[in-house]
Amino acid sequence: MNSVLTTPETLVRPEPASSVLQKSTLNDSVRLSEIQNTPVLLDFEGGSLTSDAGILLLREVEQQIGIIKGLAEVIDDPRDARYVKHTLMELLMQRIGQISSGYEDANDCNTLREDPIFKMFAGRLPDSDPALASQPTMSRFENSISRTYLFRLARVFADKFIASYNAPPKVIVVDFDDTEDKVYGGQQLAMFNNYFKDYCLMPLHVYEGLSGKLITTILKPGKRAKGKQMLAIVKRLIKYLRAQWPETLIVFRGDGHFSYPEVMEWIDRQDNVMYVIGLAGNAKLHEQTKTHSDRATKLYEQTKNEVCLYHSFDYKAASWKEHKRVVAKIEVAAKGLNLRYIVTNMKQAKAQVLYQQIYCARGQMELYIKEHKLYLQSDRTSCSRFSANQFRLFLHSAAYVLIHALKTNILKHTPWAKATIATIRLRLFKIGARVRQLKTRIKVELPSSFPLKTTLTRSFKIFELLVKT
């Protein structure tokens, strides 16, 4: 018979955080099970310790790319300097550093404001300098950002994306996709979305599809954007990139939600700009592919092996001003006939190459959004003001930029270059350490048995060489 572990109710009843903190300062300890007849006691009197020593890797990344510095420089500080205890740069470093390490809520600022590593991350001395900002201070900061500043902040992300290339690239793929951000309160512009059957906001994510670099994230109301609204975003972004890279081929890519006639017609008039976009099926499209569908079905019936054919043809929807090239994927398997379509202005590429190698590669973007939304918890848009929630989205985006740069540049040629943000955080950020502030230096003492000692040392040495050069 399996024994059941029962716990007295008094031991499992949750206590307020303030009560726990008070007890930890009173030298209270917890008795654990003995080891070789030796008592084991647990307390919180270890002193200047941290569980996030590896986050200093991101501080070195920031020193190189300056995404947080760029954000701080475009925000004016209206506060009276005589009463300022935390600069805008310190507030941004604190919040983005904590988000990167898995503390996505502003409430976490209260419990981590004395953490020696997060103080160092923000540029403060671990022992002698005052504590970091509290949750009320951080919340006031988040709610102080106006639409003017949001526009400036969005431009910083685009500028840093451009600066991430040593030379103008020959081709970039601009991937557009949005995602559901459920809301549970009175957030401005939260709307009922019939597709998701819930009230939500709709963050628009834009990445470079070949590299995974984030270009921008735009918070939208909880409904699908209209053609003119999406065209305004696409025009502004592509024109901004084109001004920096006159010769670069720019490919706009998205699923069927982005087959706006206004967007395609505008791109058709641009030089060296292409699009590959999903297209919803309809009766006329199915009629155009009927011959190929019948052929694929007969082949499957004869061989009982999955059949996949590709067909390219000209098509004009009622809302289009002229005919466009459509590529159909005709697939027949045990589950039956499956038809998929894309529309493009690429005239020369083969149909199979267009669909398999160019369009289907946009599936990688789903992983980028997963990294951003699931592992960085960027759906924590709980502020009532829409502008504050957009600013929060930018904070999470800055964390993504830092970690992506760490993976693709510093951890290149290591097993961690393809790891998820969650794995990077668990294996490289979550490191226990003792921090000692001495007269002439600060020592961060990591465990001698840390498994990834070689990787961590190599990474910091790369930063050391970058500083010297």
Instruction: Assign 20 a pLDDT band (cuts: 50, 70, 90).
Output: very low
For residue 428, pLDDT beyond 80 = yes
For residue 450, pLDDT beyond 70 = yes
For residue 280, pLDDT beyond 90 = yes
Q: Which long-range contacts (CB under 8 A, 24 or more apart) does 131-136 make?
A: 132/86, 132/90, 132/94, 133/85, 133/86, 133/90, 133/91, 133/94, 133/109, 134/109, 134/110, 135/106, 135/107, 135/108, 135/109, 135/110
Instruction: Assign 92 a pLDDT band (cuts: 50, 70, 90).
Output: very high
Q: What is the pLDDT of residue 186?
A: 86
Instruction: Assign 23 a pLDDT band (cuts: 50, 70, 90).
Output: very low
- The token duo for 378 is 């960027």
Q: 285-322 pLDDT, tens per residue?
A: 999 999 999 999 999 999 999 999 999 999 999 999 99
| Residue in the structure block whose two tokens are 């050069």 | 469
Q: Of all residues in the chain, what percent are helix, strand and coil, respectively (each to 5)?
A: 45, 20, 35
DSSP one-letter code for 385? S
One-letter-per-residue 3-state SS of 326-337: EEEEEEEECCEE
Rounded Cα distance, 355 and 342, in Å: 7
Q: What is the pLDDT of residue 350?
A: 95
Q: 186-209 pLDDT, tens per residue?
A: 899 999 999 888 999 999 999 999
Which contiguous run of DSSP H or E holds residue 203?
strand 198-208
Q: Which domains are seen in the chain, by residue range? A: 49-143+393-468 (no CATH), 147-382 (3.90.350.10)
42 neighbors 29 (Cβ within 8 angstroms): yes
Q: Which of 26-30, 147-151, 463-467 has the lowest mean pLDDT?
A: 26-30
Instruction: Assign 467 a pLDDT band (cuts: 50, 70, 90).
Output: confident
Mean residue pLDDT of the chain comes to 92
For residue 118, pLDDT beyond 60 = yes
Q: What is the pLDDT of residue 149?
A: 97
Instruction: Assign 468 a pLDDT band (cuts: 50, 70, 90).
Output: confident
75 neighbors 68 (Cβ within 8 angstroms): no
- Neighbouring residues of 335: CB distance < 8 A, sequence distance ≥ 6: none
- For 209-296, strand residue ranges (E) read 214-220, 249-254, 273-279
Q: What is the pLDDT of residue 14?
A: 53
For residue 1, pLDDT beyond 50 = no
Q: What is the pLDDT of residue 26?
A: 44
- The token duo for 210 is 């070949």
